[in-house]
Amino acid sequence: MKYYLYNPLANNGLKPEIDPSFELIDATKTDFPKFFSELKENDEVVLIGGDGTINYLVNSYDCSKLKNNVYLLANGTGNDFLKDIKETAGKEILLNPYLANLPTVKVNGIERKFINNMGFGIDGYCCEVADQIKEKTPNKKIDYTGIAIKGLLFHFKPCHATVEVDGKTYEFDNVWLAPTMKGRFYGGGMMIAPDQDRTSDKLSVVLYMTRSKLKALMAFPSIFEGKHVEKTDMVKVIEGNKIHVKFSRPCAAQIDGDTVLGVSEYYAEL
């Protein structure tokens, strides 16, 4: 038997179309421990959604206990996970190999696993503004790039960052971004950590920093191709297992696109 679980919040709320002989199950109303415990040995599960849907699964169930095959049928808007594993939408992709060794982040009393990233800085700001737009106009398409550009020019102020990686401490000024990455992509296609391998035993924390707003803006498009790392005066990438990032003032953050407000520091560990 094959079970199709979907996220009603994915793909701007559009309900997926599948073979009418199969039942669509709302993942947000599913008790995952109970659901998986009742599956038969040969049953399979198809998760319909995007990055947020996978994140919801891994934070609702200990996926190291999975005994059944779980597939992803991409139906999200960003699909950074899909880009990272070099797959395309429209087919069922086996998820199990990617769910066993996931990092954990602790922030503002929250402890969560993440599949792509823990973002901190202007990326969190973009998610904060997007949430405000969605609340006012639920069906409006969000222009994250436009939000980021306005943030770079007018609204977001860079911070001083103290970064500790595997016991070694670094100090950085004028930091715009300080995400910790499990994969290469975030933000709907930005290759922020082009050398990160999600199958490795390391995470990458990426510092994007400059005093000049104009310089930050001019270099921003290069992130989509991962070329920003060539600007070594602006970008620093540090690999490690235990990462602690602290900003000089509270900012919005995001965990796989889920906004966390008023964050001064976070701890990520793989």
pLDDT by position in tens, the chain (length 270)? 899 998 777 665 555 666 666 778 888 899 999 999 999 999 999 999 889 889 999 999 999 999 999 999 887 667 899 999 999 888 899 999 999 889 999 999 999 999 999 999 999 999 999 889 888 887 777 888 888 889 888 899 999 999 999 999 999 999 999 999 999 999 888 999 999 999 999 999 999 999 999 999 999 999 999 999 999 999 999 999 999 999 999 999 999 989 999 999 999 999
Residue 102 makes CB contacts below 8 A (sequence gap 6+) with 58, 63, 113, 114, 115, 182, 270
The pLDDT value recorded for residue 111 is: 97
- Polymer length in residues for the chain: 270
Identify the three-state secondary structure at position 73: strand
The pLDDT value recorded for residue 237 is: 98
The pLDDT value recorded for residue 138 is: 79
| Cβ count near 141 (within 10 Å) | 8
Residue 38 makes CB contacts below 8 A (sequence gap 6+) with none
| Cβ count near 230 (within 10 Å) | 11
Strand partners, 4: 24, 46
Q: Return phi, psi of residue 107, to 5°.
A: -155, 130
Report yes or no: 183 and 116 within 8 Å, Cβ to Cβ.
yes
Report yes or no: 15 and 24 within 8 Å, Cβ to Cβ.
yes
CATH 2.60.200.40 residue ranges of the chain are 104-269
| Opening angle at CA 6, ends 136 and 81, nearest 5 | 85
**Would you state the structure tokens that stand for residue 29, as one six-digit string?**
């109303």
The pLDDT value recorded for residue 24 is: 82
The pLDDT value recorded for residue 248 is: 97
CA 266/CA 106 separation, integer angstroms = 6
Look at the alpha carbons of 91, 96, 102, 107 in this order and tell me if their dihedral is positive or negative.
positive
List C-alpha distances in Å: 161 to 51, 54, 91, 248: 28, 30, 41, 6
The pLDDT value recorded for residue 76 is: 66
Helix or strand holding residue 237 (H, E): strand 235-240
Using a 10 angstrom Cβ sphere, with 0-12 exposed, 13-18 middle and 19 or more buried, the burial of residue 176 is buried
Helical spans, DSSP H, in the chain = 32-37, 51-58, 80-84, 122-136, 144-150, 213-219
**Would you state the structure tokens that stand for residue 31, as one six-digit string?**
């008790």
**Would you state the structure tokens that stand for residue 135, as one six-digit string?**
């609340």
The pLDDT value recorded for residue 19 is: 65
The pLDDT value recorded for residue 21 is: 66
The sheet carrying 44-49 orders its strands as: 24-26, 2-6, 44-49, 69-74, 92-94
> Of 1.10.3720.10, 2.60.200.40, 3.30.70.660, 3.30.1440.10, which CATH number belongs to 104-269?
2.60.200.40
